[in-house]
C-alpha cells in the first residue's frame, strides 16, 4: 500500500495537508475487527463513526448487496421508483415515532439536515409567512459540515467558527445543563423559552440532537428538556427538527432517542447506521402536515433532488440492516454494553487526567482536562489492539452492538492505560 502517496495527496477528515496525522492501512474488516495490512487486528470501538452497528462483513448485508447489484446498482429516482426504496420507506415509517408519514431519501447525514432545513423554510414560505427564515438551536450541537448544517452547529465551540462571517446567522440557546440521570431543573428550559417568546415570528424551526449531543461535545442531557422543547414548539408555532443521524437505530438504548421523552418531531433526520455502515444513505422524514404545507403554493414541489436519491443498492442493504434491527437482539446487546460501560468505564473518572465520564446505551465518554495528543494516543490504542479516534478533550466509544464483554473490556482498559500518569 502506497502510504507515501496517501500522505502526500489524499486529504483525510479534519486533517492538515501540511502536517497530516498518521493513517493506518486497512486490509479488511470482519465482525468487530479492523485488520491492518501488517496483519494486526484492532477491536473497533467507533463502529466507523456510529455506523457499523452490526459489525463488518455481515453475511446478511453482503447477501443483500450481491443480490441487488445483479439487478441494478442505480437508477435515477426522478420519475422512476423501485422495490428497495418502497420497502425501505415502509419500514422507516413503521419504525420511527408516530406521525412521520413522508420520506425523502438523501445521500448523507449532512444532506438530510440540509433537506430538513429547506423543508422548514419552504413550508413557511408556502404558508405566506416570509419572516420565518431563521433556526433556533442549543449550543454544543453538531449537525454536519455542509453550509446550512454548519450554520446551526455551535458557533463558538464548534468546528466551523472560521466560517462565521459567511454562514447564515441563527439563534442559539444555552446548551441543556441537566444531565440524563439528574433531577430535572425547570430553569434549564427557561433561556430557550425566552428566545422563542422573543423571536418566534422569525423562527422556522428548532433543530437539535435529542438527548445526546454528538460531535459538539458528547453531552448527554435530560429527556425532559426535549419534552419541553416539543411543548414550546407547539405553543409558538415552530417546527421541531430532531437530528437522529448519530442516535437513531438503538444507540441510546431506545430505537430512537426521541423515545426517551416520548415525543415525535415534525421532521426527523436519519443516516449513519441506516445501512449498517456499508454505504452512505440518509433519510429525512416529516409529518403529512409538513409535506402538504411544503407543496402548497408556488412552486408546488419540494425543491430538492439528489442525483443518487433512493440509490437501489444502498436501499437494499438498508432493508437488510433494518430487518436485523427488527429482530430485537439490539436491545439485549445495547443493555449489556451499557451495564459494562457503567461498571468499568465510569470509574475512570478517578484518574487525575479525567474531568468527567458519562454513559448512555452503547455510548461511553471520557472527558479529559486537556486536549489529547491524537497521534500519540492512537499509537497507544493500536499497540493495545483497539481502534479509538478521540478529538479535543473527548475519548469516546460507540462500539458495534455485537462486541463481546471481553472485547469491550480490552477497549476500556486501553483508554484507562492511555490516560494514566506515566
Residues designated as active site? 14, 142, 243, 272
Strand ranges of the sheet holding 33-36, from the earlier edge strand across to the other edge: 26-30, 33-36, 41-44, 386-387
Residue 272 known to bind ligand: yes
Residue 389 known to bind ligand: yes
Q: How many CB atoms lie within 10 A of CB 81?
A: 12
| CA nearest to 388, candidates 30, 55, 43, 56 | 43
* Alpha-carbon separation of residue 418 from 149, 250, 307, 380, 390 (angstroms): 34, 29, 44, 7, 12
412 neighbors 399 (Cβ within 8 angstroms): no
Rounded to 10 degrees, the C-alpha dihedral 140/188/253/372 comes to: 30
Residue 79 known to bind ligand: no
- Alpha-carbon distance 152 to 167, whole Å? 9
Measured between its terminal Cα atoms, the distance across the chain in Å is 34
| CA nearest to 64, candidates 241, 317, 379 | 317
233 neighbors 239 (Cβ within 8 angstroms): yes
Residue 306 known to bind ligand: yes
Residue 109 known to bind ligand: yes
Residue 305 known to bind ligand: yes
Residue with cell 484518574: 351
- Alpha-carbon distance 160 to 42, whole Å? 31
| CA nearest to 249, candidates 47, 406, 110 | 47
- Alpha-carbon distance 98 to 263, whole Å? 9
Residue 308 known to bind ligand: no
Q: Is 306 helix (H, G, I), strand (E, B) or coil?
A: coil
User: Facing residues of 171 across strands?
Assistant: 136
CB contact burial 1-18 (16+ within 10 A = b; e otherwise): eeeeeeeeeeeeeeeeee
| CA nearest to 77, candidates 312, 294, 271, 272 | 312
C-alpha cell at 170: 441563527
- Alpha-carbon distance 285 to 101, whole Å? 7
Residue with cell 437505530: 249
212 neighbors 246 (Cβ within 8 angstroms): yes
Question: Residue positions in the annotated binding site for substrate?
Answer: 49, 142, 272, 305, 389
Question: Residue positions in the annotated binding site?
Answer: 49, 109-110, 142, 243, 272, 305-307, 389
Question: Residue positions in the annotated binding site for pyridoxal 5'-phosphate?
Answer: 109-110, 243, 306-307
Amino acid at each position: 500500500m502506497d502510504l507515501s502517496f496517501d500522505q502526500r495527496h489524499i486529504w483525510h477528515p479534519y486533517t492538515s495537508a501540511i502536517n497530516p496525522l498518521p493513517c493506518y492501512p486497512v486490509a479488511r474488516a470482519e465482525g468487530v475487527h479492523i485488520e491492518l495490512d501488517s496483519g494486526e487486528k484492532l477491536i473497533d470501538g467507533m463502529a466507523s463513526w456510529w455506523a457499523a452497528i452490526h459489525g463488518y462483513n455481515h453475511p446478511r448485508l453482503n447477501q443483500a448487496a450481491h443480490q441487488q447489484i445483479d439487478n441494478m446498482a442505480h437508477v435515477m429516482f426522478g420519475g422512476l421508483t423501485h422495490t428497495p426504496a418502497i420497502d425501505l420507506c415502509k419500514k422507516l415509517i413503521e419504525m420511527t415515532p408516530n406521525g412521520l408519514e413522508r420520506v425523502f431519501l438523501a445521500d448523507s447525514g449532512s444532506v438530510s439536515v440540509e433537506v430538513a432545513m429547506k423543508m422548514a423554510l419552504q413550508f413557511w414560505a408556502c404558508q405566506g409567512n416570509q419572516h420565518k427564515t431563521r433556526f433556533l438551536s442549543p449550543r454544543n450541537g453538531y449537525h454536519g459540515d455542509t453550509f446550512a448544517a454548519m450554520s446551526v452547529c455551535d458557533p463558538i465551540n464548534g468546528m466551523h467558527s472560521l466560517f462565521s462571517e459567511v454562514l447564515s446567522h441563527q439563534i442559539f440557546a444555552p446548551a441543556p445543563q441537566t444531565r440524563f440521570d439528574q433531577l430535572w431543573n425547570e430553569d434549564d428550559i427557561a433561556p430557550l423559552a425566552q428566545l422563542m417568546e422573543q423571536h418566534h415570528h422569525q423562527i422556522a424551526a428548532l433543530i437539535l440532537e435529542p438527548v445526546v449531543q454528538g460531535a459538539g461535545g458528547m453531552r448527554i442531557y435530560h429527556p425532559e428538556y426535549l419534552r419541553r422543547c416539543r411543548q414550546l414548539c407547539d405553543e409558538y408555532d415552530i417546527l421541531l427538527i430532531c437530528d437522529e443521524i448519530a442516535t437513531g437505530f438503538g444507540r441510546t438504548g431506545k430505537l430512537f432517542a426521541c423515545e426517551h421523552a416520548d415525543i415525535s418531531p415534525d421532521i426527523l433526520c436519519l443516516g449513519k447506521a441506516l445501512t449498517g455502515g456499508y454505504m452512505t444513505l440518509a433519510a429525512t422524514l416529516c409529518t403529512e402536515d409538513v409535506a402538504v404545507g411544503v407543496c402548497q403554493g408556488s412552486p408546488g414541489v419540494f425543491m430538492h433532488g439528489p442525483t443518487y436519491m433512493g440509490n437501489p443498492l444502498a436501499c437494499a442493504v438498508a432493508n437488510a440492516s433494518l430487518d436485523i434491527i427488527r429482530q430485537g437482539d439490539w436491545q439485549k446487546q445495547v443493555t449489556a454494553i451499557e451495564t459494562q460501560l457503567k461498571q468499568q468505564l465510569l470509574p475512570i473518572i478517578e484518574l487525575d487526567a479525567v474531568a468527567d465520564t458519562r454513559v448512555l446505551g452503547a455510548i461511553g465518554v471520557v472527558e479529559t482536562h486537556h486536549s489529547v495528543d491524537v497521534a500519540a494516543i492512537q499509537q497507544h490504542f493500536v499497540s493495545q489492539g483497539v481502534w479509538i479516534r478521540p478529538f479535543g478533550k473527548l475519548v469516546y466509544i460507540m462500539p458495534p452492538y455485537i462486541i463481546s464483554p471481553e472485547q469491550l473490556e480490552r477497549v476500556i482498559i486501553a483508554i484507562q492505560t492511555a490516560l494514566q500518569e506515566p
